Structure 1
Amino acid sequence: MSALPRDFLWGASTSPHQTEGNNTGSDWWRMEHLAGDRLELSGDALDSYHRYGEDMRLLADAGLNAYRFGVEWARVEPEPGEFSRAGLAHYRRMIETARELGLEPVVTLHHFSSPKWFADEGGWTGDTAVDRFTRYVEEVCVILDGVEWVVTINEPNLLAVMASYTQGEGSPVPDTGIGERLVHAHRAAVRVLRERTSAKVGWSVAQQALVPAPGAEVVCAQLRYAWEDLYHHGARGDDFLGVQSYTSQTVDSRGVVPHPPHPGNTLTGWAYRPDALGIALRHAWEAVEGRVPLLVTENGIATADDARRIAYTAGALEALYGAVAEGVDVRGYFHWSALDNFEWGRWEPTFGLIEVDRETFVRTPKPSLGWLGGVARRGGGLE
């Protein structure tokens, strides 16, 4: 294991829509209810809107020292320009609860879901998008006193894919025009946050860990730009970049090579590739330039076999340590996810360190939570 910073963050991540429940003002809630049988419903989710204290205590008691969670825009601004003081106060209580339990709060301001009215204005493709998001960020700043880490937008590259599908122009590759607008929104948010808070500010990018087949280097570079590097360039000058990694894929002359069916694939159909985290960290470090520090804001595996989760996470951490040994500046590791949650239209893929009974909401920590907490207590030691 390479030496990690003394203040290295060991945590787990969640998002509001996937855990809180009854996010009735969001575009995702509406989409779920209009999709018929194509999507399952989030419903009460895990009732973490009311049970966040219990969730945080389980993480802290296990030995973790940080928690990444989000503010739900639809709860804070249910109608354009109409901000909920009660909604803001709720998220301030979450920040304070995390601090009381010894967890460093890493706060995400947008994690896929938006207010319905924002979607009706065109969402991220609309002319009002940047101004609307900037105004929301200005309001959220009032609750961020003392918060050291703020993620403006989660996985903007996947947001660009989602937005293009919403407009009927779906593509499996992020729309760079929408991506550029998201970069603009991020840069505007960074300016506001730097003016009004003392937080370190960045955003998190879904890393593909693409590897070129022989002779496909040019095609791979083109895909990397659309998938990642547009967003890496948008992070230049930030205080950190969030790296989110799960698997790796090869690129040949025709594009990304799909994962073939295999009994070793995860519940999402992805290849079992804990080494992808090292590939992702190295590429992000080089692509951002200016040596922007990295946080692993998401890394995990969808599996019902918790022993496999531990093995995957150990492999991913070994890959992280290898990148650090080569000079990559990594400041923290956040497992996805803290709990088995709503995976954007499906309940089956279980990523969590904590199992949740969706009838009673009883939380049951898995062995993987205790294992990761032990790693944190040992400063990164895997044994």
Structure 2
Amino acid sequence: MLCLVATLMAMLPARADAAPGLPDDFLWGVASSGFQTEGSSPDSNWRRYARSAATHDDIGTSVDFRHRYREDIALAKALGAKVYRVGIEWARLEPSPGRIDQDEFAYYDDVIAEITAAGMRPMLTLDHWVYPGWIADRGGWADARTPAAWLRHQRRVVDRYAHHHPLWITVNEPAAYLMQEVRFGGLAPQLAPVMLDRLVHVHREIYDHIHRRDPGAMVSSNTAYIPTVQPALDTVFLDRVRDKLDFVGFDYYYSVSPTELGAANIIADRSWEAPVSADGLYYAFRDYSRRYPGKPLYVIETGMPTENARPRPDGYRRADHVRDLVYWTQRARADGIDVMGFNYWSLTDNYEWGSYTPRFGLYTVDVKTDPSLRRKPTPAVAAYRKIISANGVGPAYRPTRPATFCSLVAAPSSCTQPVR
């Protein structure tokens, strides 16, 4: 009996201890993608997917980052952010094979110049799930010509922007990219291994090209951290490129435990009802630090959805959630885990791959009913600004919610070795 009691006590999350501050060179950032924010979208696989189902919202203007980027970059600067993540859209730059739109390249030139002038470091995503319509017509990633076309284009992008010394993300969430392509008909399910092989190939090739242009570059490909199964998912991509990663970038959103299985709401397109436990971020850090020793870790995306900016059913508020996430980031650093940066997803609400209903923004934007697309600050703006100014939450801060009993984020260790 005593042995059983001891085992159960070990599984209980211990009291939350103080979280020491973060180093002065810690990278606080905000994240976005090209297609989701720019609006006025050219022909692409995702422009077509957005129109492919009656249940989808058409992307339309989105939040019009294409014409309001100066405003949004200024908002990020006012937060004190050190990093601004944007996507460079292939479909915008090469609308037909071999035809380069110099006006659109000039737009990205100006975006990156504005970011650097604001004292921030660009984080450039080369492929955030979107490719030109003419690539889709050829068969997308199923077509043998796609890797060469992708590399030809992305080398052009790298050559143009390497002098800014950005952080680089080659392919956004490769496993999720694949699943979305299958889901929306861009790829036959049996060709999934082919697409994965090609994504591995282009990552490895562009990694080397980036380092030829900027030997000190920091390059990664962010994973979408899926509770419990992430180690298995990493065998199909991340493990195959681990020698071509300067840091491990990952996205953390949702949690799972034996008493909270609401993550199924993500599949049902009700992400605002899925559980979000901030302590799960700690377990994701610990898992990657053990599986990729010696690699710095960077949270490329993390955040919390609401339904049309209404309060969440669980009562969790975005300002509290961001503070809690930062607390667990500091606890990870205190335990010797090399965390180099943290991006909040996202600066503004945007197009969430078929819908404007899920809202993730520090600034909310009602795309469907407000033609002015006014950026309205949520209480999380002040919270994140204070966090960045103080370089973390203070030593007296404690999470607003207790650590999860038997978290399955990085099972089994997240349940059997709870954070102390």
**Normalised-by-shorter TM-score class:** 0.7 to 0.9
Paired with 2:265 and 2:281, the residues of 1 have a C-alpha distance of 22
3-state DSSP class of the match of 1:2?
coil
Is the Cα contact below 8 Å between 2:38 and 2:62 reproduced in 1?
yes
- Of stretches 81-90 and 342-351 in structure 1, the one that deviates more from structure 2 is 81-90
- Of stretches 40-49 and 125-134 in structure 1, the one that deviates more from structure 2 is 125-134
1:156 paired to 2:174: yes
- Residue of structure 2 equivalent to 1:351: 360
- Residue of structure 1 equivalent to 2:279: 275
Match of 1:182 among 199, 211, 224: 199
Match of 1:31 among 40, 44, 49: 49
1:249 paired to 2:256: yes
1:70 paired to 2:79: no
3-state DSSP class of the match of 2:391?
coil
Deviation string 1:340-359 (CA, Å, 9 cap, x unpaired) is: 11101011111000112431
Match of 1:227 among 227, 233, 254: 233
- Residue of structure 1 equivalent to 2:33: 15
Structure 1 alignment gaps of length 5 or more = 211-222, 252-256
- Of stretches 75-84 and 42-51 in structure 1, the one that deviates more from structure 2 is 75-84
- Residue of structure 2 equivalent to 1:236: 242
- Residue of structure 2 equivalent to 1:91: 108
- Residue of structure 2 equivalent to 1:193: 210
Paired with 2:291 and 2:76, the residues of 1 have a C-alpha distance of 33
Paired with 2:139 and 2:22, the residues of 1 have a C-alpha distance of 44
3-state DSSP class of the match of 1:107?
strand
1:1-383 map, 5 Å: 1-35=19-53, 37-141=54-158, 142-165=160-183, 166=185, 169-170=188-189, 175-198=192-215, 199-210=217-228, 223-237=229-243, 238-249=245-256, 259=263, 267-289=271-293, 291-303=294-306, 304=309, 305=311, 308-358=317-367, 359-382=371-394
Aligned-pair Cα RMSD in Å = 2.5
3-state DSSP class of the match of 2:357?
coil
| More contact order relative to length (CA 8 Å, sep ≥ 6) | 2
Aligned-residue sequence identity (percent) comes to: 31
- CA-CA distance at 1:279 after TM superposition: 1.8
3-state DSSP class of the match of 1:55?
helix
User: Are residues 224 and 366 of structure 1, via their aligned partners in 2, closer, same or farther at CA, if it must alter by over 3 Å?
Assistant: closer
Paired with 2:305 and 2:194, the residues of 1 have a C-alpha distance of 32
User: Are residues 204 and 284 of structure 1, via their aligned partners in 2, closer, same or farther at CA, if it must alter by over 3 Å?
Assistant: same
Paired with 1:51 and 1:75, the residues of 2 have a C-alpha distance of 17
- Residue of structure 1 equivalent to 2:403: none
Paired with 2:347 and 2:218, the residues of 1 have a C-alpha distance of 23
Paired with 1:191 and 1:106, the residues of 2 have a C-alpha distance of 18
- CA-CA distance at 1:226 after TM superposition: 4.3
- Residue of structure 1 equivalent to 2:408: none
User: Are residues 373 and 235 of structure 1, via their aligned partners in 2, closer, same or farther at CA, if it must alter by over 3 Å?
Assistant: farther
- Of stretches 137-146 and 229-238 in structure 1, the one that deviates more from structure 2 is 229-238
What is the count of residue pairs matched by the alignment? 361
Paired with 1:185 and 1:270, the residues of 2 have a C-alpha distance of 34
User: Are residues 261 and 131 of structure 1, via their aligned partners in 2, closer, same or farther at CA, if it must alter by over 3 Å?
Assistant: closer
Is the Cα contact below 8 Å between 2:318 and 2:379 reproduced in 1?
no
Paired with 1:369 and 1:295, the residues of 2 have a C-alpha distance of 21
- CA-CA distance at 1:364 after TM superposition: 1.7
Deviation string 1:18-38 (CA, Å, 9 cap, x unpaired) is: 110011222111222232x12
Which residue identity is paired with 1:30? Answer: R
Structure 2 alignment gaps of length 5 or more = 1-18, 398-420
User: Are residues 330 and 116 of structure 1, via their aligned partners in 2, closer, same or farther at CA, if it must alter by over 3 Å?
Assistant: same
Paired with 2:320 and 2:47, the residues of 1 have a C-alpha distance of 35
